Amino acid sequence: MTTIECQNLANQQRSPQTILPNLGLVCITASQQVRFKTITRTRYLKLSLEERESTLRQLYQHNLQRLHDALTFCEQNQIRLYRMTSNLFPMNDLEDKIGENLLEEMADELSKVGQRAVALEIRMVLHPDQFVVLSSDSPEVVQTSINILARHARDLDLLGLPRSPWSLMNIHGGKSQRAEKLIQVISQLPEAIKSRLTLENDEYAYSASEILAVCQAAEIPLVFDAHHHICHENLDSYNEPSVATMFEAARKTWKNPDWQLVHISNGETAFKDRKHSDFIHAMPDIYYQAPWIEVEAKRKEEAIAHLRSWWLVGQ
């Protein structure tokens, strides 16, 4: 491992004019303060219609309160970005319509979350699960993926969150070497989805430059992930020139550069380990110019506090 790899945050040099980026909490806390309930499809389908309604009503009410708790936690800890769980309201896209109807009944309660987020100046975003593959060869998989995104878009609408990349839905490119297919599908998406959609580079299927070309053609923003980039390109440092180049290219895909969002994670056991570490120990120098950073570390809020404390000490 090189000296650059081993270099921790305390040894990195920064300009004293550096503005502290907004750091994002991903879904839950390492503590029990922000946790959500769910139910498996198998268990749900074993219930009677009456049991399904009562179960989902209780679960949705619980998760909605936990969402309020997440905003409270973010407010108390000066976190201005929160990534919601993609399983916030499970089973709300089934043919029985029970979950969908319950959410419509709860529309007023849901809208208060968005109003509160605006009042607290907390940005709320979403990362749909890995089953969203818009570039699949299977029309059924593509349609299922669109249905999942439509469900999330409806949830965001009910929460009163804007149809813009401010309240983005971030996904990966999916099946490799299907850039044209991906662009075509994105171009035909409903406005409620496309207006919020962003794409992220990954370690396997789509490099940062490949997904950048898709974003440019589809006219949607790129969420740059530096760790995915160094893994895909087999780089030895976050400060390899291509990292800054891709960061700056990604910024140009955001109509409002002040909304640019990037991801940071570190390898658990080695620099290019794809598994996330507990804390962030190294970061690209260019990331100090990022306005918004999602911290993808296992220790969640503790990792954010660790990163912020270093920054504040360095000011």
Structural domain includes residue 67: yes
* pLDDT, tens digit, 9 for 90 and up, residues 165-222: 999 999 999 999 999 999 999 999 999 999 999 999 999 999 999 999 999 999 999 9
| pLDDT at position 1 over 80 | no
Give the position of tokens 């909304």.
259
Structural domain includes residue 7: no
Residue type, 164: S
* pLDDT, tens digit, 9 for 90 and up, residues 60-103: 999 999 999 999 999 999 999 999 999 999 999 999 999 999 99
* pLDDT, tens digit, 9 for 90 and up, residues 14-59: 443 357 899 999 999 999 999 999 999 999 999 999 999 999 999 9
Q: Is 111 exposed, middle or buried (0-12, 13-18, 19+ CB in 10 A)?
A: middle
Structural domain includes residue 284: yes
| pLDDT at position 6 over 80 | no
Are the beta carbons of 195 and 221 closer than 8 angstroms?
no
* pLDDT, tens digit, 9 for 90 and up, residues 230-259: 999 999 999 999 999 999 999 999 999 999
Structural domain includes residue 314: no
> What's the structural domain count of the chain?
1
Structural domain includes residue 42: yes
- Our measurement of the distance from residue 64's CA atom to the centroid of its chain's CA atoms, rounded to an integer in Å, reads 19
CA angle centred on 64, ends 54 and 121, rounded to 5°: 165
pLDDT of residue 5: 35
CA angle centred on 129, ends 59 and 291, rounded to 5°: 100
How far apart (Å, rounded) are the C-alpha atoms in residues 82 and 25?
5
Band of residue 2 on the pLDDT scale cut at 50, 70, 90: very low
Q: Return the CATH number at 100.
A: 3.20.20.150
Structural domain includes residue 6: no
Q: Give residue 221's domain range.
A: 22-309
Structural domain includes residue 113: yes
pLDDT of residue 311: 75
Structural domain includes residue 14: no
pTM given for the model: 0.92
The DSSP secondary structure of 126-149, one letter per residue, reads E---TT--TT-S-HHHHHHHHHHH
Return the C-alpha torsion angle 101, 103, 107, 111, nearest 10. -160
